[in-house]
Amino acid sequence: MEMTRSLTLAPLPATLRPASAACRRRRRQRGLPFGALFSPSPPSNQQQQEMHIRALQPRQDWVGEWVRSNDTLVRGLPILGGGASLLAVLLNRAVSGIAAVADASSSQSRADILTLALSVTDILAGLVWLSIRPKSISPVVPRGVECKRVGTGVLDSALRELLWTWDSLTTATCCKSLVVVYGGNCVLQIGVAAGSPEDGNAVMVDAQKFMQGSLYRSAMESKKQSYLANLALYPGRTELPFLPANTQALILQPIGDKGIAVIGGDTIRGFTNLDQAWIAMIADKLDATLSKS
């Protein structure tokens, strides 16, 4: 009984005692509310927005920007380094008083020969870098005529959705032509289209003929987006007579199980991975809207 009483009446350790009134008073004087060190207040909405903005801002790559802006200098650095090394070896050979004839038994001669070989290698590498340059890819002007054709029976809500899609694609990507085939009919043909050799008007989309082609069937069977980064290299280009002849890139995006969007661009490899993912999300939105019309 005495042991139990002693355990019950034993004082609490100092670390577990509640804060005294004087301690709480000192915290209030310092401007810290009670428990502030243990339960910090959540950031405000403005602070959260600033944190999101800082997280979304792209980090500047100073080294990459400097290399891109001084491309010729960077490509010539091996030549400068190799030439300086070659000059240093010859100068050392002349000043040190060593005979100009290489002696295999001399360690200095062996080191000079190795340095000369490395210098020549650097110079040759620099010459290769200067002679081989990546081909610059620039947008082209599509050869065709502007058109805007809307299929019959398209509801106003679906038309607004289609036009919003067109405006978004032309603003955010290299899209210059858009054709939407849904339910066996062409519901929208907008942008630059191929001109007819007969009257000069835009070539109409033959939905039934297009749906019989290999491009449409392969895209619908896989139910995945098909990206032709350089359209000129694909023989299936002949299945798209309604697009301008110099269309550079193409995306075939299935819209559910009933349709497909044909998106033509003016730049080779102009659609980024982010563009492709975003177009796939827009296709889901279009499918939900067109299925109700």
Q: Point out which residues pair with 208 in neighbouring strands.
A: none
At how many degrees (to 10) do helices 62-69 and 71-95 cross? 80
Ramachandran bin of 202, using left for φ above 0, alpha for ψ from -120 to 50, beta for the remaining angles: beta
Quote the pLDDT of residue 34: 45
Quote the pLDDT of residue 200: 82
**Which among 182, 206, 183 is positioned nearest to 194, based on CA atoms?**
206
**What size, in residues, is the chain?**
293
Pair 116, 89: CB distance under 8 Å: yes
Quote the pLDDT of residue 143: 92
Quote the pLDDT of residue 142: 93
Cα gap 271→141, rounded to integer Å: 16
293 residues of the chain, pLDDT tens digit each: 444 444 444 454 444 444 555 555 554 555 544 444 444 555 666 666 566 555 545 555 687 788 778 888 888 889 999 899 888 888 887 887 766 665 656 777 778 888 888 889 999 998 998 888 777 788 999 999 999 999 988 999 999 999 999 999 999 999 999 999 999 999 999 999 999 888 888 999 999 999 999 999 999 999 999 999 999 898 888 899 999 999 999 999 999 999 999 999 999 999 999 999 999 999 999 999 998 87
Quote the pLDDT of residue 14: 46
CB atoms within 10 A of CB 169: 25
Q: Which amino acid is at 151?
A: G
Taking only the tens place, the pLDDT of each residue in 60-79 is 568 778 877 888 888 888 99
Cα gap 18→12, rounded to integer Å: 10
**Alpha-helix residue ranges (DSSP H) falling in the chain:** 2-8, 21-29, 45-56, 62-69, 71-95, 107-131, 156-172, 207-211, 214-222, 273-290
**Helices and strands (DSSP H and E) totals, the chain:** 10, 6
Cα gap 21→23, rounded to integer Å: 5
Cα 101 versus chain centre, distance: 58
Quote the pLDDT of residue 284: 93
Q: Write out the two tokens for 276.
A: 């492709």
DSSP structural state of residue 243: S
172 vs 161, 190, 264, 279, CA distance in Å? 16, 16, 14, 11
Place of tokens 């849904």: 182
Q: Write out the two tokens for 269.
A: 């490899």
